[in-house]
Amino acid sequence: MLTKVKIPLPELTSSILALDDTALDPDQLENLIKYCPTKEEIELLKGYKGDKENLGKCEQFFLELMKVPRVESKLRVFLFKMQFDSQQVRNSVKLKRIMQTILSLGNVLNQGTARGSAVGFRLDSLLKLTDTRARSNKMTLMHFLCKTKINLDRKLLRNIFLAEQAYYLLEVVSTGKKVLEQKLPELLDFPKELVTLEAATKVQMKCLVEETQAFSKGLEKVVQELSASENDGPVSETFCKIVREFLSFAEGEVKSLTLLQSYVVKNADALAHYFGEDPARCPFEQVMSTLLSFSRMFVKAHEENCKQLELEMKKAKEAEKGKLKK
């Protein structure tokens, strides 16, 4: 462990008492906390009057740490202070319009059935768009979503997607009928409006609440250690000064963080309601995961459409060259 602490032992004490984050990093602090001398080890060494050089490196390390009153508590304050300083889905207009398109497609394809006049759909339906295939098996509804326009003729849409052959789709493209790529190209990059989506999928509401509570408890321990350190005398003067400055800032931040956490939890539920879901059945984590998967599937389908179009254009050019040679 000592090899991970780069500063000389004589400077270790002053660095801890000065809360010097240029001398120690969080990993080193965690190791120092882990290997702090126990009460028994302190009792064995506190009366030592001999030459320190005669002791092993571990004992010398313990003696150095013992110069700091309540060293483990101060190290935890140090770590807490160091770690202290470590876009919204509902604002995405493009995502809203994409979902309106999906609803329109679903209603057209289900026309004449009990599901043909839906006013909405379940969020997990987004992940089933790649399961619905044309009879040619070459195109999924996700691929078609990336091509279609909002007000595409209903009869033509059903023919395109349900016909035995896929030539209807080629006809739409080749005759220049307006598709989403042409009429609403700005919707194709809707994932760019959700740049924090992947990070949001890593947020666990329960963990967020627990971490906020941990900040509050950590701050309480900082206050307790400051109170105790004020009786240490000159050895802890610098420590106390820095901790007071830290508390003047941190207490306000933790208060804001607590309010923000309450706001986040409230809005996490509101997000589920926004998509017509019950937060109890479709919690925040599931909403985020579903949207991220849909976003990735959409991007992949669009890229495949582009490659397919390039291939078709290449074949058309080759065919045209063949005609000219004849």
Residues 6+ apart with CB under 8 A from 277: 122, 123, 287
The distance of Cα 18 from the centroid of its chain, to the nearest Å, equals 34
DSSP 8-class letter at 140: B
- Of 88, 289, 297, 86, the C-alpha closest to 204 is 289
Residues paired with 112 in a beta bridge = none
- Of 4, 10, 6, 58, the C-alpha closest to 27 is 4
pLDDT tens-digit profile, the chain (326 residues): 556 667 777 788 888 999 988 888 888 888 888 888 888 888 888 777 777 777 888 888 888 888 888 989 999 999 888 877 544 566 677 777 777 777 877 776 776 676 666 767 877 877 777 776 665 556 777 777 776 543 444 444 444 444 433 333 333 333 333 344 555 566 667 777 676 677 777 777 877 788 888 889 999 999 999 999 999 999 999 999 999 999 998 888 888 878 878 877 888 888 888 888 888 888 888 888 888 888 888 888 878 888 887 888 888 878 777 776 66
C-alpha 68/C-alpha 46 separation (Å) is: 13
Residue 209: both structure tokens together? 């609440």
C-alpha 101/C-alpha 186 separation (Å) is: 14
Residue 250: Cβ within 10 Å count: 21
Residue type, 177: K
Q: Are 106 and 118 in contact (CB under 8 A)?
A: yes
Residue 131: both structure tokens together? 């399961």
C-alpha 127/C-alpha 241 separation (Å) is: 56
Which ranges in 126-183 belong to alpha helices (H)?
A: 141-145, 154-162, 167-174, 180-183
pTM for this model (two decimals): 0.45
Residue 95: both structure tokens together? 């995502």
Residue 267: both structure tokens together? 């809005």
Element of type H or E holding 217: helix 205-229
C-alpha 17/C-alpha 236 separation (Å) is: 7
Element of type H or E holding 97: helix 93-109
Residues paired with 98 in a beta bridge = none
